[in-house]
Amino acid sequence: MSNPIAEQGSRRHWLRLVPLVIALVIGGFLFAGLNLRPKEIPSVLIGKAVPDFELPPLPGRPRGLTTADLKGEVSLVNVFASWCVSCRAEHPLFMKLQASGVVPVHGLNYKDEGSAAMGWLRRHGDPYDRVGADLKGRVGIDWGVYGVPETFLVSAEGRIVCKHIGPIMQRDLDDKLLPFIKALREGGTPQC
């Protein structure tokens, strides 16, 4: 007869690995979690038509922003406000975009006072084609806005293709938005 203790040990051998396996599984999830960005809530409006809205212009600025204005050509819609600090960070990029004429940029001025917004645009430059003043933030809610800045890429058919949360950096422009704009103009359907 073989040694019963040794035999029982080998039978239970695989059970000893259970804690290790559990630790590895939990570790795997935690490791994957390191690369998640829980602050960025995915938009449900991607691929859908832009919401129906009509916003008046800022006081002393000619053109407001409506749903119809977003049809006909590829455009960017930038949600901004004079009280928004990180809007300052991305602003020079929009100035450059406007100067280069690559793509029209429209502004959605979110919960801002008209005079404050106009002062801000005078101080830092006005890169926008049209700007709609969303005083109450209701149109922002229709767009699924939950912080400022946010930027939407809209197709020529008036469909929301992409949403960028937070300030846009040169890298986002080069790696994401500009290639997407190019693809859209060539009749492609890029996926965010």
Partner 1 sequence: MLRASIRFALLLLCIAGWSVSALSVAVDRPLEDPAQEARARAIHKQLRCLVCQNQSIEDSNAALARDLRVLVRDRILAGDTDQAAIRYIVERYGDWVLLKPPVKAGTIFLWAGPAVILMLAIVLIALWYRRRGGPAGRTVEPLSLDEQNRLKDLLGDGDRS
Which of 56, 125, 147, 190 is close enough to bind partner 1 by CB under 8 A? 147
Residues in 100-119 at the binding interface with partner 1, rule: CB under 8 A: 110-113
- Kindly tell me which of 136 and 185 has the beta carbon lying closer to partner 1: 136
- What the block records as the tokens of 160 is 């929301």
- Kindly tell me which of 8 and 189 has the beta carbon lying closer to partner 1: 8
# of chain residues touching partner 1 (CB under 8 A): 36
CB of 36 to partner 1, least distance (A): 13
189 Cβ contact list (under 8 Å, min separation 6) = 183
Which of 71, 86, 124, 192 is close enough to bind partner 1 by CB under 8 A? 86
Which of 5, 6, 15, 32 is close enough to bind partner 1 by CB under 8 A? 15
CB of 188 to partner 1, least distance (A): 25
**Segment holding 161, helix H or strand E:** strand 160-165
Q: Which amino acid is at 189?
A: T
Instruction: Please say whether the beta carbons of 72 and 104 come within 8 A.
Output: no
Q: How far apart are CA 65 and CA 102, in angstroms?
A: 20
- The CA-atom distances, in angstroms, between 120 and each of 9, 108, 127, 132 are 75, 14, 12, 15
Q: Can residue 13 be called a binding residue for partner 1 (CB under 8 A)?
A: no
Helix (H, G, I), strand (E, B) or coil at 110: strand
Per CB under 8 A, the segment of 68-76, 121-129, 144-152, 171-179 that binds partner 1 is 144-152
Q: Can residue 127 be called a binding residue for partner 1 (CB under 8 A)?
A: no
Q: Can residue 167 be called a binding residue for partner 1 (CB under 8 A)?
A: yes
Q: Can residue 31 be called a binding residue for partner 1 (CB under 8 A)?
A: no
Q: Can residue 172 be called a binding residue for partner 1 (CB under 8 A)?
A: no
Q: Can residue 149 be called a binding residue for partner 1 (CB under 8 A)?
A: yes
Q: Hey, CA dihedral for 110, 167, 152, 99, is it positive or negative?
A: positive
Nearest to 74 by CA among 168, 185, 178, 191: 185
